[in-house]
Chain A
């Protein structure tokens, strides 16, 4: 029953996004003038840092502007809670890509192609190597005028992972992204999203939702390099307030992102999550 409810919610979310695409006229302007095109360098990454606390790219701020790219990455997360005799390390090998269907529409996906977990409960340890989660989604630009871009995003979490005994994970997320680019070297971005996931399998669904607000900025003093600083706050069973920082580089059309985040408040116990991504923009 919960799965059906979840599916209905996802359907509604995607439909809303599609409606928005169909009904909202998008202002087109000369490439150099509009927000999405107003960028330091084509190969340089943009938008919020793509390192999050949830599965694949769930609950990460999505950039507002469509682009076509393909990349691979790695994400490393650690919880070392000595007083509680607990430790956890997770490493994800990511494959991701996006396709700009048109200037205002992007389809994207992220797969945890390799999902490695190590967890320690007092002196007992275990490891796990599985295929991880897959997300797929779409972004639709709703407003792109002058220095400002506004988009909506929807993505679904598909039950591809084998990591949970007796269960597969299904979920979805709806969000709105914004990008303000007063200068070619400065982007202020934001993201507001809500997500919901639950298990399907022999056990309880245990649906859990969350809402996240992210604001950040990318400072791009060079064509080849940029600094991104984001602050995100999430409400939900697993909540946090977390700064995130990343360095972005580009070599020709190859973008590189090195980032890290850590919660400074909330129930999330991560000590750090760090990641590296490389992608080729087409």
Chain B
């Protein structure tokens, strides 16, 4: 027995002595994570040592440039002669980074940042994200030419799991090194996927990761199916596709492993160690290099990734070079005009199985060169305008190779001119190109290597600068763009209250000029200003339209007032408005869209944590020296507490708008509070929190004076296609029935030129102020709060209440109609906006329908009557049969679809919100209408008009939307008690 004991002692001593503690795994307070990626070296002029720096930003002027730059005063910037990287300070929340320590900005030196955030997680739940609580700036000079930032913390929901990350820069690095260490200090066996999370946002950088059938393409997935789409890949790259020069590219390469593992989508990527079981006391170490290149494609960043793999793994690469040319000549330097994709395989290999290794945007002279692994056969594809034009096979390449020339088809150089016919002055406008022959349309369908939406023709990235998709912005009357050869209908648009013009252009190649004249139509009622209260620019994590194009698009829709509502960051467009000379006819207001990204809220009966959705708020102060430019920390608070945080930030009459209340969630994050908390609109709201989900909606959180329903306005229409109108409207009507009167609004929520057109829809606000230097935001907001506005994507409803000498428009003022009270309604619209019916809705029910209104004969007419309907209706006719008070709104436009509520609530119960349309056309909404495999739905929009039908042009402009306008309500005191008493869910019937 003594011998056994001695042997064990010796064993333990040996093991103990032989196990050197690494970095910060042992948890010492003064520990340092070892320098990451010691096998990776770059060389440069020794003079570059002087450019190495690390410091906490102390002024907004030190911020990295670019639309997605978030780092500001207090955050830490690492720089050398090649790269700038900013680490979020502790206590600073940005997007999915709860408390700082993430990479906020990553850009080539002096260039623009296009990265949203890059952060560490081990899983998909909020508890699995790193919550860093301390930050240390490390400057190892002169002993070692290196500067670093080390952040320490724990997993957000598991305090017993410490995690530490070191970001390091040495003088010649073309990127930043990182090493993350994590220890399972808990008592539970865990499955961890230690990865960097990249939040792309959906319209920003696109991830590229080589694999069979992958590169730009990746398997789609939902929150519940992520595990099935994990793939190994040798490196990951991404580049901006904004279409301007404000973009860069990056790549990530492991410094220790042959592959990374993760998943990718336009929204989010994860790249890191393979998923693995980590029992208690286990630890993981992840070292990687984030390379950065000033490039428009991913190729140059991938060149760096291959250099790193050569140093780490000994993997050899070769360089492929070549030239693209265009028939008829011309220069390039734009991804839309030429993009070269290199994939492993042969021409006989199914393209879906080829391994895409890299992609490059040729220089202005058409030359390009990229690195690829040696010893493989490649297919090289040259793309233009979203379509593959040329492909060639190169077998068994094991040396640097000149690929020769790739000749692309000729294009037309089109100069478009748009002018106001009345003044002949050039105007800002938006052009929509459509193949003139539907049969030819498939020949023009393109996409950005299969990503984002497809368009015909594809003139540029749908998410980026003009030309985007099939849209072209015109500023001050003229623009010149390259267009593929073909025959196109070109529509010139200047807002819903102007005529629409069309020219059919046969693009032959070479220069051509096309001119349009537009006429202002007498539609906008006097005393109203047009306003879009919800628009996004490149500052939003899910937008990459350059700010200049964004503002031109405001003017192209002839808007008076625009509220800038970028996600989670305050943005001020005023300087760009001024630069473009638009300040006398347009007013932009500094606002914000708070955006819940970190689930936290638990509601009765539901087991998953939730976010509170999105709210717009204005007017605010833009302060680039503050985190998020002055936006509040908006995560993990209920709406009431968020409103409380906003209170000191308003610079004038505050307005809070509930956005898209019933929108579908994105990646498990709801976009609207009512749907998020699974409200059942078949039940009346309680007066206070009664422990139900409806109680959550009305309650006032601790530390707040606002209730969760303390917003002033609610979107009833959102987006040019008017999708989900029936659901948003159902919630608005529910609130009116509950006596919680909120102003209904209509906004584009445009993030690009493609997803929605700014100003379609919009609000016509009746207020005694106009756009320009004297615009009174206080008066504007008060008018909105009083409900003195109309929401529309084209039709204009002028609704007047007449009772004796009383004349009133819709507002929150309570009216006591006499037996002779009347409503006068006049509906008018541009000839290209189809209005077929007028609906009078009382307490949520259509009480009167004026239908079968005639269509305009010529959608491009510039004169003639614009009036679709002019009628007078007795109020008593509309309120007959009601037992109590009533509210009334009027709608005009196309008929809405027949829809019903078959489920959608908790446990599949009906919830009072329409979810299924009469899809089989039998006049009844029932289970027979439900798509196979689904429990409810789809909720279809009205069938878009086809070419030659009335409304086709409207469909082109609105992404197949349908014309709709609605007034805000009249409130009628019918029982004579001097107040408006809410009718409840039964609507007083």
Contacts and interface: CB of A to CB of B under 8 A. Distances in A.
Nearest to B284: A165
Interface string B579-621: 0000000000000000000000000000100000000000000
Interface string A89-121: 010000000000000000000000000011111
B920 interface: no
Contact of A167 (B8, B122, B281): B281
Given A8-B9, A14-B5, A126 B191 contact: yes
Nearest to B274: A126
Contacts of B26: 203-204
Given A125-B275, A202-B21, A203-B281, A170 B12 contact: yes
B908 interface: no
Most chain A CB within 10 A, of B124, B187, B191, is at: B191
A164 B192 CA distance: 13
Interface stretch (B93-101, B220-228, B400-408, B435-443): B220-228
B15 A170 contact: yes
B47 interface: no
Given A121-B128, A206-B185, A4 B12 contact: yes
B607 A124 contact: no
A123 B8 contact: no
Contacts of A269: 188
Contacts, number: 160
B283 A203 contact: yes
Q: Summarize A's interface: helix, strand, loop or mixed.
A: mixed
B838 to A, nearest CB: 49
B283 A202 contact: yes
A41 to B, nearest CB: 31
Contacts of B22: 202-203
A3 B13 contact: yes
B16 A3 contact: yes
B600 to A, nearest CB: 14
A156 B277 CA distance: 25
A170 B16 CA distance: 10
Contacts of B20: 202
Contact of B275 (A15, A126, A205): A126
A169 B281 contact: yes
Nearest to B124: A122
A199 interface: yes
Nearest to A199: B281
Nearest to A107: B4
Interface in B1-40: 1-2, 4-6, 8-9, 11-13, 15-16, 19-22, 25-27
B896 interface: no
Q: Summarize B's interface: helix, strand, loop or mixed.
A: mixed
Interface in B174-221: 183, 185, 187-193
Query: For this complex, into which size category does the number of interface residues on chain B fall?
Result: 35 or more
A168 interface: yes
A183 interface: no
Contacts of B284: 165-166
A254 interface: no
A149 to B, nearest CB: 20
B189 A7 contact: no
A7 B12 contact: yes
Given A120-B191, A201-B19, A202-B20, A165 B278 contact: yes
B19 A7 contact: no
B701 interface: no
Contacts of B124: 121-124
Given A18-B1, A123-B227, A165-B278, A238 B187 contact: yes
A254 to B, nearest CB: 30
A247 B535 CA distance: 70
Interface residues of A, number: 59
Given A122-B123, A128-B276, A128-B277, A156 B191 contact: no
Nearest to A105: B1
A158 B395 CA distance: 55
A124 to B, nearest CB: 5
A15 B192 contact: no
A208 B186 CA distance: 11
Interface in A196-223: 198-206, 208
B25 A125 contact: no
Contacts of B281: 164, 167, 169, 198-199, 203-206
Interface in A216-266: 237-238
A85 B185 contact: no
A14 B20 CA distance: 28
B190 A202 contact: no
Contacts of A158: 11
Given A170-B15, A204-B26, A163 B191 contact: no
B643 to A, nearest CB: 30
A2 B16 contact: yes
A267 interface: yes
A159 interface: yes
A88 interface: yes
B313 interface: no
Contacts of B279: 117, 163-164
A11 interface: yes
Contacts of B280: 164, 206
Nearest to B25: A203
A113 B64 CA distance: 56
A202 B9 CA distance: 20
Contact of A159 (B4, B15, B189, B227): B15
A88 B184 CA distance: 15
A123 B270 CA distance: 14
A30 interface: no
A118 B191 CA distance: 8
Given A2-B16, A7-B8, A200-B19, A117 B27 contact: no
A156 B223 CA distance: 44
Contacts of B855: none
B277 A127 contact: yes
A25 interface: no
A1 B16 CA distance: 7
B191 A165 contact: no
Most chain A CB within 10 A, of B188, B192, B285, is at: B188
B282 interface: yes
Contacts of B15: 3, 159, 168, 170, 200
Contacts of B278: 164-165
B688 interface: no
B12 A121 contact: no
A67 B329 CA distance: 93
Interface of A: 1-4, 6-8, 10-11, 14-15, 17-18, 21, 79, 82-83, 85-86, 88, 90, 117-128, 138, 156, 158-159, 163-170, 198-206, 208, 237-238, 267, 269
Which 8 residue pairs spanning A and B have beta carbons closest together? A7-B12, A3-B16, A18-B1, A203-B283, A199-B281, A119-B191, A203-B25, A166-B283
28 contacts: A3-B13, A4-B13, A4-B16, A7-B9, A7-B11, A117-B279, A119-B191, A119-B277, A121-B124, A122-B123, A122-B124, A122-B128, A123-B225, A124-B193, A125-B227, A125-B275, A163-B279, A165-B276, A165-B278, A165-B282, A170-B15, A201-B19, A202-B20, A202-B25, A203-B281, A203-B282, A206-B183, A206-B280
Interface of B: 1-2, 4-6, 8-9, 11-13, 15-16, 19-22, 25-27, 122-125, 128, 183, 185, 187-193, 223-227, 275-285, 607
Given A123-B223, A127-B277, A166-B284, 15 more contacts: A3-B12, A10-B9, A17-B1, A85-B125, A118-B277, A121-B128, A126-B276, A128-B277, A138-B4, A164-B282, A199-B281, A203-B26, A204-B26, A237-B187, A269-B188
